[in-house]
Amino acid sequence: MSSSSLDMPRPPPTVRGASAPVPEDRIGEIVDAVIAAAPECVRKRVLLPAIDWALVPPHKVNLLLSSLEQAGLLLPRWLAKPLLLAGHTLSGRAGDALPGALKLLARLNGAAGEPDERDGLAASLKSLTSTPGVDADIAVALVRRLVALSWDDEALRFALAHAHSVPQLLRLAGGVFDQHLASLPLLRLRVSGSSTTRTLVDALGPAFAVEGWRADIAESSFGSALGDLLAPPDDVDALVVLLDVDGLLATDWRHGAPDVGRLAAERADLLGEALQSYASHASVPLLINTLPVPSGPTAGLLDRQHGLGLRRAIDAVNARIVDGAQRSGRVVVVDADQALSALAARDHVDPKLWYYGRIGYSAEATHCLARAFAEAWQIVRRGPVKVLAVDFDNTLWGGIYGDDGVGGLACGEDFPGNAFQALQQECLRLKAQGLLLVALSKNEESALEVFAQHPGMVLKADDFAAHAVNWQPKADNLKRIAEDLNLGLDSILFLDDSPHEREAMRRLAPAVVVPEMPDDPAERPRWLRGLTATWPARLTAEDAARPAVYAARRAAQDLQARSASFGEYLSALEQRLVVRLVDDRTLARTAQMHQRTNQFNLTTLRLGEAEISALADDPKGGLALVGHVTDRFGDHGLVIAATVDIDGGEASIRTFLMSCRVIGREVERAFVGALIEELASRGVARVRGVYVPTAKNAMVRDFYDSCGFSLVGDEGSGTIWSFAIGETAPPRSTYVTTSWEM
Amino acid sequence: MDTYASATELIYPEISEIFADVFQHGGPLTRGTSPDDVPRWDSLQHIALIRALETTFSVRLSMDEMMEIRSVGDIERVLGRHGV
């Protein structure tokens, strides 16, 4: 073996001359050539993955990005990741199309640590904090970057949120984590097992910290699980027992067939008796796991039924454990198959660790079990949420009630409505478990009738203990309902398909539990089943009766009063409105919006392409405008449009409509302001607007009033409004940055 | 000049990171560094070391290799054999 020191530099290459090229320069040239050919390399996905971007200077990375942009190529994820992990920043619009975690890393790499940057990134960080399954490399880079910026709180929150899947994050957070840990309530645990428990002990500390506890762990001696069950400790808050297949069911095959089966049964009996004894004597809760499905059978096909079958022995042990839990509420069972379901059975155990140190589970499996123990403790201590507040459109059914009508909503036996129906079944399951259902939808109140009118709805309106179906901010509605039901906001779970609504709720009512729901409706039913916030600690008859008690207290409430901090939410959205004259590129979408929009539509005139282009092509006689909205969460596309007839100094708004995607965010104020300014520049002095009521557009009844128009006529067919340019200032919104693009 | 910078001197610079992480060992590492030089490198922390090597270098080490590793030089040799 060489004795030379690792930190002694290797001699530099000595060859230098015209005849013999220097290897390092050659590589540099090749990298330059690859960057020069970047668009082709991206299309074919070659060469670029081989480059170590930490060794490439930033200006060359910029060169690469701009050549992709010029070629009209988006920066692909497989290239963005190594660039960002190497610490590069992304210039221009290169990072726009990236998924959340990479986009955030791009912004963090470019951040200088200014307070306003910190505020700007807070929301994206927060939503990423509630998104499970962040790529481990990216998570590590994010925490490193946050620590480097001294954004300690953010680093800690993110590390805690993802520590279950990426345990090293807590070490990276370092001192901040230690400080945080010191502030948590103390929990004294004793850990014992059927084999070595040291690796579990190491994993339990962080796992309990994630759930908000500082675990002080005493480890029992090797294999003392049964001993601790028979003589329960009384100087701790809980006993954790880790059972493993090899440790509990090790078999000496010398005994021969009949005895092996009998011995396995005896072991199960012994454990069962120990659990019974614990249930009747112990004063502290026990957290114990079942044995997981084995990676291989000992009786082949007959493993579940024959006395020699390992699976049969495991089933017998598990039956005893479950029996113990049914006898006493102090016995809390962690289902190992559930806890380890993310791993293949063969990865539950790392055989070399077993033979090396009688360690019954692999490192991954140990982390999964530690997490399950900590979550079980939390569920037992805090109990599940008490309220499920749920959105309507695209959550309980597919489609938008206001636009598609009852008949157009997807919910029923057939695809894709069956996924929504399944989610409704999950809501009913939670109701049966004792949760209160609350309807929370931005809709006309008539949306509640959908439950009676649509044949596919398994939920009915009276399943909801309370409802707020209106256009107020959902957080205000929910606070009011929580008061009425006399429940804390922290006992409410909020489900909504819109990232905006989730973000607004997190900001305005931080105590509410707001998980990131999967985008794909097909994933949602099973996702909801796995959501530990809903898991019951115990199921009792009283729980099932609770909804009825609250239903009696239900009262129709007029929910108004906008929260002051709703403005903060709007500012943080960083909304941008780009206004354009309608042209060939936007004509089709503008006409389509005219056909489809029902709710935010002042006149509901279904103008077609020909009528719109007639107005657009005659600057003296008409005007057709569209608006493109983007915000921090993404691009909403063309969502607002208006057409106007111009006659000298008089103009009359023929249509004014907006997609409900951006309702309630002042985009319409900014757009009408831009419209009036454009008309003023064309010499118009007076703008007329009409509101024609329909069954669906009640929400815009007062729109012109709120924009500074005055009422000049009220006919049966609608109201007529007028705006005097020069006398009244055009409406503006401080929450929307407006610009023109020709 | 901005050429592609030359490679670093250590064959596996990640090893010092792993030692800092697993053993809180910040001192210099040589190929001869062994459990005698690293107070926390006991038989149980050895598992954590193996685990860290496996995840960092995306390899699966065998029982023999687990026993073979008794110094930093051994780690280099084993990783080299895996084509890291």
Does the residue B2 lie in any domain?
no
The ipTM (two decimal places) reads 0.79
Same fold, A184-382 and A574-740: no
Residues A78-98 have a mean pLDDT of: 86
- Considering Cα of A435, then A436, then A437, then A438, what sign does the dihedral take? negative
Confidence of residue A641 (pLDDT cuts 50, 70, 90): very high
Q: Is the pLDDT of residue A215 over 50?
A: yes
Residues A699-714 have a mean pLDDT of: 93
Contact in structure between A169 and A180 (CB atoms under 8 Å): no
Beta bridge partners of A387: A436, A492
Q: Is the pLDDT of residue B73 over 50?
A: yes
Give the per-residue pLDDT at B10.
59
Give the per-residue pLDDT at B2.
40
Residues A172-182 have a mean pLDDT of: 87
Q: Is the pLDDT of residue B3 over 50?
A: no
Q: Is the pLDDT of residue A635 over 80?
A: no
Residues A86-91 have a mean pLDDT of: 88
What is the average pLDDT score of chain A? 87
Confidence of residue A264 (pLDDT cuts 50, 70, 90): confident
Beta bridge partners of A710: A722
Q: Comparing A137 with A15, which gets the higher pLDDT?
A: A137
Confidence of residue A271 (pLDDT cuts 50, 70, 90): very high
Give the per-residue pLDDT at A9.
45
Give the per-residue pLDDT at A569.
73
What residues in B contact A28, CB-CB < 8 Å? Answer: 3-4
> Are residues A356 and B47, on separate chains, in Cβ contact within 8 Å?
yes
Sequence-distant contacts of A111-116: CB under 8 A, at least 24 apart: A111/A145, A111/A149, A113/A149, A113/A150, A113/A151
Return the structure tokens found at A696.
Answer: 């669906």
**Chain A residues with at least one Cβ partner in B under 8 Å:** 1-10, 12, 24-25, 27-28, 31, 55-57, 59-60, 168, 171, 198-199, 202, 351-353, 355-357, 359, 363
Asked if the C-beta of B10 comes within 8 angstroms of chain A's C-beta atoms, the answer is yes
What residues in B contact A199, CB-CB < 8 Å? Answer: 47
Confidence of residue A6 (pLDDT cuts 50, 70, 90): very low
Q: Is the pLDDT of residue A655 over 60?
A: yes
Confidence of residue B24 (pLDDT cuts 50, 70, 90): confident
Give the per-residue pLDDT at A113.
83
pLDDT digits over A685-698, tens only? 999 999 999 888 98
Give the per-residue pLDDT at A326.
86
Q: Is the pLDDT of residue A94 over 80?
A: no
Whole-angstrom CA distances from A78 to A46, A50, A128 are 11, 11, 20
Whole-angstrom CA distances from A501 to A18, A409, A566 are 66, 21, 12
Whole-angstrom CA distances from A46 to A41, A49, A195 are 5, 7, 49
Confidence of residue A560 (pLDDT cuts 50, 70, 90): very low
As to burial, measured by CB atoms within 10 angstroms (0-12 exposed, 13-18 middle, 19+ buried), residue A384 is buried
Asked if the C-beta of B9 comes within 8 angstroms of chain A's C-beta atoms, the answer is yes
Point out the least confidently predicted range of A88-92, A316-320, A683-687: A88-92
What residues in B contact A88, CB-CB < 8 Å? Answer: none
**Nearest-by-CA chain B residue for A6:** B30
Residues A42-67 have a mean pLDDT of: 92
pLDDT digits over A108-165, tens only? 998 888 888 887 787 778 777 766 678 888 999 999 999 999 898 889 988 988 887 7
Give the per-residue pLDDT at A547.
52
Considering CB atoms only, which of A24, A56, A199 is closest to B47? A199
Does the residue B50 lie in any domain?
yes
Give the per-residue pLDDT at A423.
98
- Tell me the backbone φ, ψ of residue A46, rounded to 5 degrees: -125, 165
> Domain A387-562 classified CATH 1.25.40.340?
no
Considering CB atoms only, which of A56, A57, A359 is closest to B47? A359
**Nearest-by-CA chain B residue for A30:** B4
A696 Cβ contact list (under 8 Å, min separation 6): A402, A444, A598, A599
Q: Comparing A399 with A598, which gets the higher pLDDT?
A: A399
Q: Comparing A94 with A513, which gets the higher pLDDT?
A: A513
**In this complex, how many residue pairs, one in chain A and one in chain B, have their CB atoms less than 8 Å apart?**
64
Q: Is the pLDDT of residue A540 over 90?
A: no
Asked if the C-beta of B8 comes within 8 angstroms of chain A's C-beta atoms, the answer is no
Residues A202-230 have a mean pLDDT of: 91
Q: Domain count of chain B?
A: 1
What residues in A contact B47, CB-CB < 8 Å? Answer: 199, 353, 356-357, 359
Task: Give percent of chain B with pLDDT exceeding 90.
Answer: 46
- Pairing type for strands A686-691 and A718-724 reads antiparallel
Fold of A574-740: Aminopeptidase (3.40.630)
Return the structure tokens found at A593.
Answer: 């919006």
Asked if the C-beta of B20 comes within 8 angstroms of chain A's C-beta atoms, the answer is no
Give the per-residue pLDDT at A11.
45
Q: Is the pLDDT of residue B7 over 50?
A: no
Q: Is the pLDDT of residue A548 over 80?
A: no
The Cβ-side half-sphere exposure at A543, using a 13 Å CA radius, reads 19
Give the per-residue pLDDT at A130.
67
Confidence of residue A7 (pLDDT cuts 50, 70, 90): very low
Beta bridge partners of A686: A650, A724
Domain that holds residue B28: 14-81
Give the per-residue pLDDT at A624.
96
pLDDT digits over A587-599, tens only? 988 998 898 888 8
Q: Is the pLDDT of residue A710 over 80?
A: yes
Asked if the C-beta of B64 comes within 8 angstroms of chain A's C-beta atoms, the answer is no
Does the residue B4 lie in any domain?
no
Confidence of residue A23 (pLDDT cuts 50, 70, 90): low
Confidence of residue A731 (pLDDT cuts 50, 70, 90): very high
Question: How big is chain A, counted in residues?
Answer: 742
Asked if the C-beta of B51 comes within 8 angstroms of chain A's C-beta atoms, the answer is yes
The 3-state secondary structure of A266-304, one letter per residue: HHHHHHHHHHHHHHHHCCCCEEEECCCCCCCCCCHHHCC
Does the residue B8 lie in any domain?
no
Q: Is the pLDDT of residue A545 over 60?
A: no
CATH no. for residue B76?
1.10.1200.10
Residues A488-517 have a mean pLDDT of: 92
Give the per-residue pLDDT at A265.
87
- Tell me the backbone φ, ψ of residue A233, rounded to 5 degrees: -70, 150
Helix axes B43-57, B72-81, angle to 10 degrees: 40
Please state whether the predicted TM-score (pTM) of the whole model is above 0.80.
Answer: no
> Are residues A352 and B66, on separate chains, in Cβ contact within 8 Å?
yes
Point out the least confidently predicted range of A253-262, A505-514, A636-645, B41-50: A253-262
**Domain ranges (residues) in chain A:** 23-148, 184-382, 387-562, 574-740
Contact in structure between B73 and B32 (CB atoms under 8 Å): yes
Asked if the C-beta of B59 comes within 8 angstroms of chain A's C-beta atoms, the answer is no
The Cα of A36 is separated from the nearest Cα of chain B by a number of Å equal to 14
Give the per-residue pLDDT at A721.
96
Top CATH class of A184-382 equals alpha beta
Give the per-residue pLDDT at A281.
85
Does the residue B73 lie in any domain?
yes
Residues A73-95 have a mean pLDDT of: 88
Give the per-residue pLDDT at A499.
87
Q: Is the pLDDT of residue A562 over 70?
A: no
Please give the Cα distance from A569 to A363 (Å, whole number): 42
Among candidate residues A201, A200, A198, A161, the one with its CA nearest the CA of residue A177: A161
